[in-house]
Structure 1
Amino acid sequence: MREHHIAVNGVSLHVVECGEGSAVLFCHGFPDTWRSWRQQMNAVAHAGYRAIALDMRGYGESSGPDEASAYTALNIVGDLVAILNHMNCETATLVGHDFGAVAAWTAALIRPDRFRAVFGLSVPPFDFDGGNFLSELREKGQHDFYMFRQMSPAADNEWADAKNTIPAAFYWTSAEAPKGERWHPMDINRGLLRPTPVKRPRFVEPTDFALMIDQFKKNGFHRPLNYYRALESYIDMMPAFAGCRIQVPSFFIIGAADGLNELHPVTTEILQHVLTDLREFIVLPDVGHWPQLEAPEQTNSALIGFLDAIY
């Protein structure tokens, strides 16, 4: 892996790359770092592509402001464009998971000149014709929705014990946890931070997982949680995109056991309302919120097939 530290947009971004060829840019989510992409990076590099991943602003070895307003999807798109410029890439295919998927869908929408395709995991694109789902949940009195807790100032301390909170978040959101006990976005009794019966989920790589925990111990969770705090202001911008569709080639993959899919099952019809060139949609059985880690071979095969069809 070749490493870079790129000063752009008032932050320093830690970027890692391997391979040569057309660029594939990987964007992680919460709570994570670039390391969860290692298996995909090695696979696409072996297949003849240039794999580039970053610690998103505020994570890992990347710096980030303390203000939540600096973490909207539009801010992140600016970082992704700057990385392409620094790495001398005219275009790239985006691969995004969780909040990284939010950024990837947005980048594909507003900068199709730089991002020629998008491969999303676990979080589908927003309906640009929809309203503010967070406001709608509040109006319905559904205050147990997990994002509201993540947005609160108290969340920084609730997450602070990374040695326990990171394994809990990975375990309870995965299919490794027993059915009926897995994380559910609307059930506080099936939350992210319950005590976990394992110190490390089976599907993570031990060294990378330990290094990630150490980075969260060092840096804390305020900046990563700012992605939640900035989300509502981004959703409030959606009227500007009314009628817009993502027109570059796209692919979406989600685990059948993902709590997000349990709350609102994703369908081809839902995706095609936003994605005009949806090449494929896969639901992985017995997989939770981490397809790239829980089902790396299936994820890699799908990703490389998508890339080969485009390039």
Structure 2
Amino acid sequence: MEGVTHRTISTNGISMHFVEMGSGPIVLFLHGFPEGWYGWRKQIAAFAKAGYHAVAPDMRGYGDTSAPEGAENYTFLHIVGDLIGLLDALQVKKAFVVTHDWGAIIGWQLSLYRPDRVIALATLSVYFTRRNPKGSMVQLLTEAYGKEHYMIKFQIPGKVEAQIASITPEVLFTHVFGTQLEQTLGFLERPKEARLPDWMSEEELAYYVAEFSKHGFTPALNYYRALNLSWELTAPWSGSKVMVPSIFIIGDRDLLYEFPGAKDYIHGGMAADVPFLKETIVLEGVQHFLHLEKPEVVNDHILSFFKGFSYM
């Protein structure tokens, strides 16, 4: 991507690579699975042009950032710690934060643990999930969907990696980005149905494949495999609220919007858990990767929200 500067800093015992563009208040972009910094290519220049300093890291286990071995090194606390170190290295007290997918989960946790470091939070796709005292996300998903849910399959070391190798990374990425709502949960079993969406080029697909060749898929899957440990370690925050000004944006064709109880929570209960939630936006006909599918719409919503804050 032209115009970005690539940098690497030391944080929390790892080396973290990030790209940056622009000057002004920092906007920290947190990517999801399976993207890396490149997932924000349709946001970085737009935010820099709008007067912000866009910073998009490869999070732990992705791209040119370190990938420690062992799922125990990929808890919420590890990853939030990496980001606090990044903000410290940038010598910034507070930042605007934009998140998607796994980055959304981490963004919620960052705002929960360290609201003093976040000016405002714009979250895409993954709504806040308060810690359930009955069990971890893995346990609750197993009860709701059985062992066939992809997050449950991801728990078994080596199994998904072997499936990916058998269908090739190119086909996996094509499925992840192009799968329709009704096909989402079975994407590893239907490689012949893969079709790249209109909003992604073959060149962009090749970039994702090349980035994952650096560490393989195990580090990214370790985020899922650390969910049980994250649940254990975050007991001190049970019942805590996200006390950061926020907006939430989701597509109505995102599988997450169809989870049992999701709509009621998104349009009702979430406001109690996120008291400073300013707006919930549902984009009609849009799927999971809304920042890539409808970048102008998503960017406009976030920039309009951020305009209401002074940088401190």
Alignment partner, residue 142 of structure 1: 146
Q: How far off is 1:77 after superposition?
A: 0.7
Structure 2 segments unaligned to the other structure (5+ residues): none
Q: How far off is 1:45 after superposition?
A: 0.9
SS at structure 2 position matched to 1:303: helix
Q: How far off is 1:137 after superposition?
A: 4.1
Would you say 1:84 and 2:106 are equivalent positions?
Answer: no
Where does 1:83-162 land on structure 2 (aligned, <5 Å)? 83-128=86-131, 131-132=134-135, 133-139=137-143, 142-153=146-157, 154-160=159-165, 161-162=168-169
TM-score normalised according to structure 1 size: 0.90
Structure having the larger proportion of residues in helix = 2
TM-score normalised according to structure 2 size: 0.90
| Residues 252 and 57 of structure 1: CA distance in aligned 2, closer, same or farther (over 3 Å) | same
Farther off after superposition, 228-237 or 27-36: 228-237
Where does 1:213-228 land on structure 2 (aligned, <5 Å)? 213-228=209-224
Cα deviation, 1:59-116, whole Å, max 9, x if unaligned, reads: 1111111110111111111111111111121210111111111110000111111112
Alignment partner, residue 170 of structure 2: 163
Cα distance in 2 for partners of 1:192, 1:246 equals 35
Q: How far off is 1:273 after superposition?
A: 2.4
SS at structure 2 position matched to 1:167: helix
Alpha-carbon contact 2:16-2:58 (below 8 Å) kept: yes
Equivalent position amino acid for 2:174 in 1: P
SS at structure 2 position matched to 1:151: coil
Alignment partner, residue 270 of structure 2: 271
Q: How far off is 1:243 after superposition?
A: 2.4
SS at structure 1 position matched to 2:235: helix
Cα distance in 2 for partners of 1:192, 1:285 equals 27
Q: How far off is 1:287 after superposition?
A: 0.9
Name which of 210, 228, 232 aligns with 1:232: 228
Equivalent position amino acid for 1:155 in 2: V
Would you say 1:284 and 2:283 are equivalent positions?
Answer: yes
Alpha-carbon contact 1:119-1:252 (below 8 Å) kept: yes
Alignment partner, residue 296 of structure 2: 297
SS at structure 2 position matched to 1:301: helix
Q: How far off is 1:182 after superposition?
A: 3.0
Cα distance in 2 for partners of 1:9, 1:193 equals 38
Cα deviation, 1:142-180, whole Å, max 9, x if unaligned, reads: 2222211112111122223212111111111xxxx3x6x
Cα deviation, 1:263-289, whole Å, max 9, x if unaligned, reads: 233322132121110011111111111
Cα distance in 2 for partners of 1:15, 1:193 equals 34
Q: How far off is 1:224 after superposition?
A: 0.6
Alpha-carbon contact 1:250-1:280 (below 8 Å) kept: yes
Cα deviation, 1:185-208, whole Å, max 9, x if unaligned, reads: xxxxx3355225455322125433
Equivalent position amino acid for 2:138 in 1: L
Q: How far off is 1:209 after superposition?
A: 2.7
